[in-house]
């Protein structure tokens, strides 16, 4: 039985998603009962984390087996140094993706709730469910006299209603585990500067997974499986010039540079200035010199003067061998996501921006170059409908097969042919979601039990 509610969405958003998952083409393909069952499973699985942690390893710096062994040693220190249990036996290589290690997540576990409550924001609550400790800025409410060393239960605020500095909260919240306060309440809320560092160290999380805080920073990078697949599908080669148009915090940028053995150039753009530092820090941490990060609005990234060759943006048309458009999106595939307060208007604001970015992407790509479009959402409007629009708008583009193809095909509903849908890669956790499932080996479960994600690969002729 689930101890978790389904994802909490505005009714208008639930209705919209239902109309997507029960669209005419889906009903014709699988029938009403199956389509509705998939939709209900989607709402449930979105609020739960995947049953494993995915780590992308720096195979440009060391062989996979060596990193696997080192990771085992590090994680053994976290559990119990005297334990005879071989932790590295639980760290499994992905059967097809050569730079991925998978670690099982244990949960939901039976954890008893305590009377002392700390309430955290939804984003912080989701991070705790994936193995993080509670960082002080994520804390919204704590007991009035909370002292460092107190044992507390941590709850995630589902509807964004808890006021910062509250001493209790009666709104909708979900229990995510127990921890020990590392700070007094006064150090969290009554300071001129926002408090930093771990506020509550989780000792009995609902979902137990290793903490990667400071663990092999140059060799092990936490990344969702579909995001790793994106880098491989783009297929960068050493010496090429690649553009990552919406790059922060740079997980995919760094993967691209690593796949190129750090030879060539990966230009990373993002519109938000303070996110650029994150891209640079990640590249530095992973020892990658080929990443060049700039703060820039990618819709404006094509320069008017094709003769002008700047080092940074804007760039002349046809400047790049490959372009990744990992588009800003409604993010409705993220897991765990226990609640979103977004309106339908906010969700529907993304497709026009994605199309503007797509126009720039096509212009910046060389003829014969590869364009990959990806999102971490589940709507048709941001995925298959964008592909249908792109094929109609840019006759120079053709859909390409993807390697590896470990997700499902595209979802019917946007008028694409069955052959075109087969070329798309949609990660649809609802298709394999089964809460009681514990017997299937982790390596077989991994490709289905992911965040919701979408990938399309095009060639510019």
Which positions lie near ligand SAM, rule CB under 6 A?
227, 246-252, 269-272, 275, 297-299, 326, 328
Compare residues 42 and 327 and give the one whose CB is closer to ligand SAM. Answer: 327
Cβ nearer to ligand SAM, comparing 87 with 243: 243
Task: Kindly tell me which of 297 and 443 has the beta carbon lying closer to ligand SAM.
Answer: 297
**Which of 198, 360 has the CB closer to ligand SAM?**
360
Shortest distance (Å) from residue 49 CB to ligand SAM: 19
Which CB sits closer to ligand SAM, 406 or 451?
451
The least distance separating ligand SAM from the CB of residue 267, rounded to whole angstroms, comes to 12
For the bound state, the minimum distance from the C-beta of residue 389 to ligand SAM, rounded and expressed in Å, comes to 18
CB of 107 to ligand SAM, least distance (A): 26
For the chain, what is the radius of gyration of the CA atoms?
Answer: 22
Contact of 253 with 291, CB cutoff 8 Å? yes
Task: Select 48 or 252, whichever has its Cβ closest to ligand SAM.
Answer: 252
Nearest residue to 142 via CA among 187, 203, 197, 205: 187
For residue 182, the minimal CB distance to ligand SAM (Å) is: 29
118 or 325: whose CB is closer to ligand SAM?
Answer: 325
CB of 271 to ligand SAM, least distance (A): 4
Q: Is 376 a catalytic site residue?
A: yes
**Closer CB to ligand SAM, residue 275 or residue 287?**
275
Find the shortest distance in angstroms from Cβ 296 to ligand SAM. 6
Nearer to ligand SAM, 176 or 242 (CB): 242
Helix axes 32-46, 11-21, angle to 10 degrees: 130
Half-sphere exposure of 283 (CA within 13 A, CB side): 27
Residue nearest to ligand SAM (CB): 246
Report, in Å, the least distance between residue 356 CB and ligand SAM.
7
Write down the catalytic residue from 45, 54, 376, 396: 376
CB of residue 248 to ligand SAM, shortest distance in Å = 4
253 burial type by CB count under 10 A (0-12 exposed, 13-18 middle, 19+ buried): buried
Which H, E and C letters describe the chain, residue by residue?
CCCCCCCECCHHHHHHHHHHHCCHHHHHHHCHHHHHHHHHHHHHHHCCCCCEEEEEECCCCCCHHHHHHHHHHHHHHHHCCCCCCCHHHHCEECCCCCCEEEEECECCCCCCCCCCEEEECHHHHHHHHCCCCEEHHHEEECCCCCCCCCEEEEEEECCCCCCCCECCCCCCEEEEEEEEECCCHHHHHCCCCCCCCEEEEEEEECCECCCCCCCCCCCEEECCHHHHHHHHHHCCCCCCEEEECCCCCCHHHHHHHHHCCCCCEEEEEECCHHHHHHHHHHHHHCCCCCEEEEECCHHHCECCCCCCCCCCCCECCCCEEEEEEECCCCCCCCCCCCECCCCHHHHCCHHHHHHHHHHHHHHHEEEEEEEEEEECCCCCCCCHHHHHHHHHHCCCEEECCCCCCCCECCCCCCCCCHHHHHHCEEECHHHCCCCCCCCCCHHHHCCCCCCCEEEEEEEEC
Ramachandran category for residue 18: left, alpha or beta (phi over 0 → left; psi -120 to 50 → alpha): alpha
Q: Catalogue the active-site residues.
A: 376
């Amino acid at each position: 039985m689930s101890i978790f509610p389904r994802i909490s969405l505005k009714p208008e958003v639930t209705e919209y998603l239902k109309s997507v998952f029960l669209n005419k083409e889906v009903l014709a393909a699988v029938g009403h009962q199956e389509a509705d069952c998939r939709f209900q499973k989607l709402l449930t699985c979105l609020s739960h984390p995947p049953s494993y942690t995915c780590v992308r390893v720096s195979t440009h710096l060391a062989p996979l087996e060596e990193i696997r062994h080192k990771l085992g040693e590090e994680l053994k220190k976290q559990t119990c140094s005297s334990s005879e249990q071989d932790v590295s036996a639980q760290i499994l290589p992905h059967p097809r993706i050569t730079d991925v290690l998978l670690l099982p997540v244990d949960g939901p576990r039976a954890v008893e709730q305590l009377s002392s409550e700390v309430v955290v924001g939804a984003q912080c609550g989701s991070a705790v469910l994936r193995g993080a400790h509670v960082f002080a800025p994520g804390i919204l409410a704590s007991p009035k006299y909370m002292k460092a060393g107190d044992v507390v239960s941590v709850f995630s605020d589902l509807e964004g209603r808890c006021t910062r500095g509250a001493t209790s909260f009666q709104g909708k919240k979900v229990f995510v585990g127990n921890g020990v306060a590392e700070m007094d309440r006064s150090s969290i809320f009554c300071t001129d500067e926002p408090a930093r560092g771990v506020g509550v160290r989780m000792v009995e999380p609902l979902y137990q997974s290793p903490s990667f805080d400071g663990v092999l920073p140059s060799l092990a990078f936490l990344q969702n499986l579909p995001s790793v697949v994106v880098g491989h599908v783009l297929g960068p080669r050493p010496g090429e010039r690649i553009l990552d148009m919406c790059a922060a915090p740079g997980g995919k940028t760094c993967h691209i540079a690593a796949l190129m053995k750090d030879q060539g150039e990966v230009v990373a753009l993002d519109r938000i200035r303070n996110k650029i530092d994150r891209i640079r820090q990640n590249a530095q941490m992973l020892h990658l010199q080929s990443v060049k990060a700039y703060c820039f609005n990618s819709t404006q990234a094509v320069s008017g003067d094709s003769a002008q060759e700047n080092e940074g943006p804007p760039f002349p048309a046809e400047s790049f061998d490959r372009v990744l458009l990992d588009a800003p999106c409604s993010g409705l595939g993220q897991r765990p996501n226990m609640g979103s307060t977004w309106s339908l208007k906010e969700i529907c604001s993304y497709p026009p921006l994605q199309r503007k970015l797509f126009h720039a992407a096509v212009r910046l790509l060389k003829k014969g170059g590869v364009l990959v479009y990806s999102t971490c959402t589940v709507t048709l409007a941001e995925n298959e409908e964008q592909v249908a629009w792109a094929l109609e708008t840019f006759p120079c583009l053709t859909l390409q097969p993807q390697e590896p193809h470990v997700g499902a095909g595209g979802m019917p509903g946007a008028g694409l042919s069955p052959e075109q849908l087969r070329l798309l890669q949609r990660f649809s956790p609802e298709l394999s979601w089964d809460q009681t499932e514990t017997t299937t080996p982790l390596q077989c479960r991994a490709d289905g039990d992911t965040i919701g994600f979408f990938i399309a690969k095009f060639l510019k002729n």
